[in-house]
């Protein structure tokens, strides 16, 4: 289920009712950056991930008691960092 499209995101939708902001107003001096990561990684056992962590240029995915680590640009998401002017 998703709130697909501009009209759905600014109107009443199930995400909004759950407390998720699907639209917001920007002021003249504000800027927003949306960064996300999409990827696929084969794991044996077919179990869904239980934990995902990133640190020091690595991403660690834990599923079914096993862990897999791969290179990751941890600076890309800039979590907790201000947007550069």
Average pLDDT over residues 58-77: 85
Nearest to 73 by CA among 52, 58, 83: 58
Instruction: State the maximum Cα–Cα separation within the chain, in Å, rounded to a whole number.
Output: 50
Mind listing the pLDDT tens digit for each residue in 29-40? Answer: 877 777 788 888
The reported pTM is 0.51
Task: Return the percentage of the chain with pLDDT > 70, whole number.
Answer: 91
Distance CA 37, CA 72 (A): 10
pLDDT of 39: 80
């Amino acid at each position: 289920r998703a709130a697909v499209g501009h009209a759905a995101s600014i109107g009443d939708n199930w995400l909004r009712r759950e407390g998720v902001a699907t639209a917001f107003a920007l002021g003249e001096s504000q800027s927003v950056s949306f960064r996300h990561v999409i990827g696929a990684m084969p794991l044996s056992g077919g179990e869904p991930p239980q934990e995902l962590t990133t640190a020091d240029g690595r991403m660690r995915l834990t599923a079914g008691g096993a862990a897999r680590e791969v290179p990751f640009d941890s600076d890309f998401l800039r979590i907790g960092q201000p947007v550069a002017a």
